Amino acid sequence: MALIPLCPLIKTDQNSPQGGPMRQYELMVIFPMEEDQHKAGRDQLLADLGNNGAEIVRTDEIGDRDLAYEVKKRRRAKYVLFVIKADPDKVATLDRIFKLNANLLKYLFVKVEE
């Protein structure tokens, strides 16, 4: 009886420092409008990305926007889009870390199809 692998092998040209495949993600982050909270949240986010082996490809400041609904008693926020390359296993770790960052209102990881 032959064993069938549960997941296909992933072939990529780039590997993470840990040896796994690197995938590209868009990370949309919503920061508070207050400059001190925005700066603290952004600095912590960049440190967390760096500590987990993620590479920032591009950063787009989208700017101040009205929120569709109130988030943590706020109606406006600053939107920033990061394009990153990261190991898929580390994205789950980053998700847990970002939940603890009080200076992030919302965030979303989206895998970029190549």
| Model confidence pLDDT, tens digit, residues 2-14 | 444 443 333 444 5
Give the residue from 21, 92, 24 showing the smallest Cα distance to 58.
24
Mean pLDDT for all residues in the chain: 84
Residue 20: predicted pLDDT: 63
Residue 47: predicted pLDDT: 94
Instruction: Identify the band that residue 17 occupies on the pLDDT scale cut at 50, 70 and 90.
Output: low
Rounded percentage of the chain residues whose pLDDT exceeds 70: 82
Is-contact 29 79, C-beta < 8 A?
A: yes
Rounded percentage of the chain residues whose pLDDT exceeds 90: 69
| CATH number for region 23-111 | 3.30.70.60
For the chain, the domains span 23-111
- At residue 5, the 3 state secondary structure works out as coil
Residue 22: predicted pLDDT: 87
Mean pLDDT of 59-88: 93
| Alpha helices (H) along 1-114 | 35-51, 88-99
Kindly compute the dihedral angle of the four CA atoms of residues 52, 97, 34, 63, in this order, to the nearest 10 degrees: 60
Within 13 Å and on the Cβ side, how many CA atoms surround 39?
Answer: 3
